[in-house]
Amino acid sequence: MSHTTPQAQATYAALHADCAALGTRLFTVTVTDAANEITHRAYTSHPVEYPVSGTKPVTRDGWYDQCIAGRQVFVANTTPEFARYFFDHALISSLGLGSCINVPIFAPNGPVLGTVNLLAEEHHFTAEKLAGYEALITRCQADLLAAMT
C-alpha cells in the first residue's frame, strides 16, 4: 500500500501543515478500498482519537452521493449538518469541532481514491477559506494521487 510509505506520509504531513496554518484543527486522510467497501485512515493529526489503523465501511448515503459518487467537496459548517452522516459526531463535538470539509481525490475519469478531511470550529469554512484550502489541495493533487494508489 503506497499510502503508508514515507513519501506518502510526507505528502500528507506537508498538506496538514499548510491546512493547519489556515485554521484546520483536525486533519485526516482516508483511502478507499473499493473492492472491500471500506476506507482506511492513512494519516491523522489526532492519533489517539483517530488512529491510522482506523477503518470504516463505505456507507451509501447523502455524503457518499455528494463526495464519492458526485466528486464534490462536502461542506458542513455546523454539527447538525454532518451528524446524520458521521457516527462519531459526539467525539468530534467533544474536541470543540463543529465544521468540516471532505475533499475527494481522484484523477480525471478515474475513481475517487480517498478524501482529505479537515475539521475546525463551527462556521470556519467560509467561501474565502474554502478557496484557500482547495488551492492547497489542488497544488499537491499529483502527489496525493501517487500517495493514494
Q: Using one digit for the tens of pLDDT, what is the confidence trace for 102-127?
A: 999 999 889 999 999 999 999 999 99
pLDDT of residue 54: 82
Q: Which residues contact 106 (CB under 8 A, 6 or more apart)?
A: 71, 112, 113, 145
Taking 70 as the threshold, does the pLDDT of residue 1 lie above it?
no
Amino acid identity at 87: F
| Percent of the chain residues past pLDDT 90, beyond the cut | 89
Taking 80 as the threshold, does the pLDDT of residue 4 lie above it?
no
| Percent of the chain residues past pLDDT 70, beyond the cut | 99
pLDDT tens readout for residues 7-46? 999 999 999 999 999 999 999 999 999 889 999 999 999 9
Q: Contact at 8 Å (CB) between 64 and 86? A: no
Taking 70 as the threshold, does the pLDDT of residue 2 lie above it?
no
Whether domain 2-148 has CATH 3.30.70.20: the reply is no
Following DSSP, what letter does each residue of 14-39 receive, concatenated? Answer: HHHHHHHHTT-SEEEEEEEEGGGTEE
Q: Contact at 8 Å (CB) between 133 and 8? A: no
pLDDT tens readout for residues 71-105? 999 999 999 999 999 999 999 999 999 999 999 99
The structural domains of the chain, with segments of one domain joined by +, span 2-148
Taking 70 as the threshold, does the pLDDT of residue 131 lie above it?
yes
In this prediction, residues 42-69 reach a mean pLDDT of 94
pLDDT of residue 41: 95
